[in-house]
Amino acid sequence: MTPANTFPMVVVTGISGSGKSTALKVFEDLGFFCIDGLPSGMSPKIADLILKQDSKYRGLALGMDMRQPEFLEGWDTALEELANMGITPQVLFLEAKLGVLMRRYATTRRPHPLESQSLGLEQALEQEKSLLDPIRANAELVLDTSDYSVHDLRRVIQTKWSAIEELGRGMRVHIITFGFKYGVPSEADFVFDLRFLPNPYFDKSLRPLSGLDEAIADYVLGSEVGAKFNEKFLEFITYVLPLYADEGRYRITLALGCTGGRHRSVSVAESVLATLKEKGYAVTIEHRHMELG
Residues annotated within a binding site: 14-21, 65-68
Residues annotated within a binding site for ATP: 14-21
Give the SS3 label for residue 255: strand
Residues annotated within a binding site for GTP: 65-68
Distances (CA, A) of 251 to 140, 189, 248: 6, 9, 9
- In our burial notation (b when 16+ CB lie closer than 10 A, e otherwise), range 88-119 reads ebbbbbbbbbeebbbebbeeeeeebebbeeee
Q: Would residue 131 be called left, alpha or beta, if left means φ above 0 and alpha means ψ between -120 and 50 degrees?
A: alpha
Contact 241, 281 (CB under 8 A): yes
Instruction: Name the residue among 27, 94, 41, 44 with its Cα closest to residue 69.
Output: 41
CB burial of residue 239 (10 Å; 0-12, 13-18, 19+): exposed
H/E element, 158: helix 150-167
Provide the sign of the torsion angle of the four alpha carbons 278, 212, 193, 129, taken in this order: negative
CA atoms of 228 and 232, how far apart (whole Å): 6
